[in-house]
Structure 1
Amino acid sequence: MEYLDIKLLGREYRVGCKTEEKDALQTAVNYLDEKMRDLADKTNSAGERLAVMTALNITHEFLQHQRSGGFDIPALKRRIEGINSRLDSALAEQEKL
């Protein structure tokens, strides 16, 4: 077990984590801090109220994503294929120059 010093809304905390999870935890901290700052700006909330509201919003986002079945992989593949096609066309035009 390792410790990671994190900062949320300017306040420092020390949390325990496994070494291999350190980067993922830092990513989560950054996401949470961004969400908390965004909500604080919009609602003028602070402290426990802000923490609960942020947790509720993140949970709602998670459940919506979970209910929708996650990502639409076929749509993402079509979009990537379209981007690749446009890149191929652009590169072909560049080769002609």
Structure 2
Amino acid sequence: MSESQTVTVRILDKDYHIACPESERANLERAGDYLDKKMRDIRRSGKVIGTERIAVMAALNITYELHNKQRDAAGDGESSEQVAQLLMRVQQSLGDSE
């Protein structure tokens, strides 16, 4: 069994210390870098303000990407369309409340 170590992931200039098996360290660091990039892209767009809202939008965008990949693998376009519509409604709602 792999022993856990603390990995520091930096997202939007804030450090997060996460316990992680050594064998998964590189994957966690890549995931943190990917999330940081997505959040920075959203913040840079200027359409979403606030770290929490940026995090939600990044999570939705990443989930959308995941669903697209799963759909492509399974050949099911209906769930992807539903996620796209949900994402659009959330973006509109966040835009309306600011």
Asked if Structure 1 and Structure 2 have the same fold, meaning a TM-score greater than 0.5 normalized by the shorter chain, the answer is yes
Aligned to 1:23: 26
Q: Following superposition of structure 1 onto structure 2, how do residues 55-94 of structure 1 map, counting pairs within 5 Å?
A: 55-69=59-73
TM, length-normalised to structure 1: 0.68
The aligned counterpart of 2:81 is: none
Higher-Rg structure is: 1
Query: How well do the aligned residues superpose, as a CA RMSD in angstroms?
Result: 1.3
Question: For the residues of structure 2 that align with 1:62 and 1:45, how far apart are their CA atoms?
Answer: 24
C-alpha separation in 2, matches of 1:21 and 1:60:
24
* Contact 1:2 1:19 (8 Å CA) reproduced: yes
Q: 2:8 matched to which residue of 1? A: 5
* Structure 2 counterpart of 1:38: 41
- The residue aligned with 2:91 is none
Query: In structure 2, how many angstroms separate the alpha carbons of the residues matched to 1:37 and 1:46?
Result: 12
8 A Cα contact 1:39 1:45, kept in partner: no
List structure 1 segments (4+ residues) > 3 angstroms apart after TM superposition. none
- 3-state SS of the aligned residue for 1:51? helix
Residue segments in structure 1 that go unaligned for 5+ positions in a row: 71-97
Residues of 2 paired with 1:21 and 1:12: CA distance?
A: 18
CA deviations on 1:28-71 (whole Å, 9 max, x unpaired) are: 1111100100011112422111111110010011101110118x
Higher relative contact order (CA 8 A, sep 6+): 2
Q: How many percent identity over aligned positions? A: 37
